[in-house]
Structure 1
Amino acid sequence: MQVDRDVTVYLSATRKSAPAELREYYAAFEELYDKKLYHQLTLEINKFVALPAAAPFLVPLYNEFVSEWQKRMNQLSLVLFVTKASRTIKDPGQSLAFLDIQVERLRELPDERGPFVLATMEAAHIKLVSSDFEGCKKSIEEAGKILAELSAVETVVNASFYRVAADYYKAKALYPLFYHNALLFLSSVSLDDLSSVEKVERAFDLSLSALLGDGLYNFGELLMHPILDSLTNSSSAWLRQLLFAFNSGDNDAFEKISKSGDFLKMPLLVSSMPFLTQKLCLMSLMESVFRRSKEERGRLPFSAIAKDTRVAVNEVEHLVMKALSLGLIRGSIDEIDETVSVTWVQPRVLEMSQIKTIRDRLAEWSGNVKEKVVALEKEGLVDISAAAE
């Protein structure tokens, strides 16, 4: 088969006018298309797209060439190409229309669910930056249902979905949903692919959402994630310290940071002080329970809880009831004796100081067991040497 005449004219004319570094690609496009080597042609397209100089040529390349054989192209590669091309269109409406062609085309292809989700989410991104929040939300919901039904999907599809979803929830100040989706986005990409600036921005946004998110009392996944290290040597290092203070229920550290100039320059945090204070009290309660032995947890005086959490004794009952209702702890309250019995505390990611607490507790338990066994041996009830054999 001979190359379509219109395609030949386009490729030949563009090869002559394009920058020198791009001309060889147009020659390859024509040759591979003529030989029906669509896989190799797709690979050449992928290389071409990665070149900065190719940006102004992407939309014409699709319109005049790729659209002629797009059904034979790997559909995921096609969507990635069209996405890159759409970003060169300055007008958001035209950019969205360009992407929507693929969304509607792929909607009719049941075997291309992954590419459809990718195209839908990239279109949703344009809707979001154009302040079409309702349209973006509908796209997220549609794509989310499809993803939930797929047993496996390419990481680039997941990354696109969670990136746009996180951006939407950030714009809506829905902190828990942003936190969840932002972490899932990071699990779908390599940190090496993110710039230093983007790492700091994402770590900053995640830290704020962890602090301000209603119901977020366990952000150990963020504390363990290397993205948080990007704040260490930045102007937002204090925010990282604040996260660790919350995780360990450190009232002194929180008080110090909350009076710092960096904190006071954050109106969002300053205006949220009542919420942050209550959240810290709850996390201090969890830490207080965690540090104690099983026996001590069975009868915790209100006075001890008040001391650890920095709340008045007459407010302890309300604090504990709040923790019970949120599922942070399990147990019961004795209002007459003013004690609390805790049978379970929500698991959390531990810092070194908390790990040391567990180590010391295990050492104490081991010592107690050894003392009891030795005592039983002296009474002739146990023979340690025989047990060892």
Structure 2
Amino acid sequence: MKDPIGFLRRQQEADTGDAAERWQRMETFYNRRLWHQLTVELLEFTLIPCFPSGDNLLQLYENFISDFEHRINPLSLVEIILRVVRQMNDAQMALSLLEKTWEKVNRERQVGSQQQRAFTLGLAALLGDGIYNFGELLMHPILESLRNTENQWLIDTLYAFNSGNVETFFSLKTNWGSQSDLANNEQRLKEKLQLLCLMEMVFTRPANHRQMTFQEISHQAKVPVDEVEMLVMKALSAGLVKGSIDEVDHKVHMTWVQPRVMDLQQVSFMKQRLEAWCADVKNISILVEDHAHEVLG
């Protein structure tokens, strides 16, 4: 059972100064059912420096906001939820929360469209801190509403992220650069895309040939050579890949990459890999048969 007041008081005890005062104000607004004042406080509070990291926003939503979200102005609720999903590591959970919020907003306002809903989902996926599985979203039928429209660029951008294509992303800057949420987070998006690029480089290589030089990664991910090691370390710490770094020879050896839902192009590539593997197995089988008599004597 939720205990909003208990949650607020625990936060008051843990924080000091302005943060503690804000928690106290929110408790007062909540007890007096001053929903507008509480919403304004939340919109300001969720932007202060302590919230962008960790799962602070997610904890705030689950333990407090979800108790009275039906009282929040629909547009303000969407704005808050977009901030929350950026801290969700599970793409499916993030999409479910966005869909639930969108349905609530539509019920209350009786407005909206499939395109608006798809656009919101796409932006949230790009900005979500723990969302790296774009293939799952690209398979969602709701995105079809954006095809062949003025917002087609968003689908193209999602595909660029899914394949870790840095060049394509920046070729679309005239489109996404006009969206304040994306433009204001350009560096953050670039860093996320570079991680996805590294994942794609590992994915597209055979399991027995996953050694890459710093120079190769630098060229593909569009990152300076002296920053490659940090990029790889971020990917390792986030659990996106597994492997080791050879600082002396400036190489990395990858042994695993986080599974993802593949788009059609990636499936086609995997098919080619399997066909090549089958051909190798057949050749080895023939070789063994041809030389079996030498082994058996």
Q: Compute the TM-score of the two structures, normalised by the length of structure 1.
A: 0.53
The residue correspondences of 1:128-277 to structure 2 (distance < 5 A) are 130=36, 132-133=38-39, 141=63, 168=77, 170-171=79-80, 173-176=83-86, 180-184=93-97, 186=99, 197-258=112-173, 260=174, 262-277=175-190
Q: Distance in 2 between matches of 1:265 and 1:338?
A: 39
CA distance in 2, matches of 1:128, 1:265: 36
Q: 2:243 aligns with which of 331, 346, 364?
A: 331
| SS of the residue 2:209 aligns to | helix
Within 1, Cα distance between the matches of 2:149 and 2:35? 28
Check conservation: 1:196, 1:230, Cα contact below 8 A. no
Structure 1 alignment gaps of length 5 or more: 1-123, 146-159, 383-389
1:351 paired with 2:274, answer no
TM-score by length of 2: 0.68
Give the C-alpha shift of residue 176 in structure 1. Answer: 2.4
1:313 equivalent in structure 2: 225
The answer to whether the Cα contact below 8 Å between 2:78 and 2:101 also exists between their aligned partners in 1 is: no
Q: Residue 272 of structure 2 aligns with which residue?
A: 360
Bigger Rg, which one: 1
Percent pairwise identity: 37
Q: Which of residues 188, 192, 196 in structure 2 aligns to 1:279?
A: 192
Question: By how many angstroms is 1:243 displaced?
Answer: 0.7
Partner of 1:27: none
Change (3 A) 1:315 1:201: same
**Cα–Cα, structure 1 residues 131 and 140, in superposed 2: closer, same or farther, change >3 Å?**
farther
Matched, 1:294 2:207: yes
Contact 2:244 2:254 in 1 (8 A): yes
Say if 1:165 and 1:181, in contact at 8 Å, map to a contact too: no
SS in 2 for 1:330: strand
What amino acid does structure 2 have at the position aligned with 1:225? H
Distance 2:37 2:87 in 1: 19
Deviation at 1:131, TM superposition (A): 5.3
Cα distance change on mapping 1:140 and 1:301 into 2, 3 Å: closer
Confirm or deny: 8 A CA contact 2:194 2:222 kept in the other structure.
Answer: yes
Q: CA RMSD in A?
A: 3.7
C-alpha displacement of 1:223: 1.3
Alignment partners' CA distance in 1, 2:145 and 2:217? 35
- In the TM superposition, 1:41-52 aligns within 5 A as none
Q: Note closer, same or farther for the CA distance 1:280–1:327 as it changes in structure 2 (3 Å cut).
A: same
Whole-Å separation in 2 of the counterparts to 1:281 and 1:128:
44
Instruction: Output the CA distance in 2 between the equivalents of 1:364 and 1:315.
Output: 34
What pairs up with 1:22-171 in 2 under 5 angstroms? 130=36, 132-133=38-39, 141=63, 168=77, 170-171=79-80
**Conserved 8 A contact 2:87-2:130:** no
- Tell me if the contact between 1:231 and 1:237 (Cα under 8 Å) persists in the aligned partners: yes
Identify the residue that residue 252 of structure 2 maps to in structure 1: 340
Task: Report SS of the residue matched to 2:277.
Answer: helix
Residue 18 of structure 2 corresponds to which residue in structure 1?
none
* CA apart distance, 1:132: 2.9
| Residue identity matched to 2:141 | P
- How many residue pairs get matched? 237
Task: Work out the CA distance in 2 between the residues paired with 1:294 and 1:140.
Answer: 41
* Matches of 1:364 and 1:243, distance apart in 2: 29
Question: Relative to 1, partners in 2 of residues 1:138 and 1:315: Cα closer, same or farther, differing over 3 Å?
Answer: closer
Greater relative contact order (Cα < 8 A, sep 6+)? 2
> Is this contact kept in 2: 1:330–1:342, CA < 8 A?
yes
Deviation of the 1:141 alpha carbon: 3.0
Contact 1:169 1:175 in 2 (8 A): no
Alignment CA distance shift 1:301-1:166 (3 Å): farther
How far off is 1:165 after superposition?
Answer: 11
Hey, what does 1:303 align to over in structure 2? 215
Partner amino acid, structure 2, of 1:216? I
2-structure distance, mates of 1:140, 1:272: 25
Structure 1 residue 169: Cα displacement: 6.3
Structure 2: any 5+ residue segments left out of the alignment?
1-29, 44-58
1:241 Cα offset (Å): 1.0
Shift of 1:199: 1.6
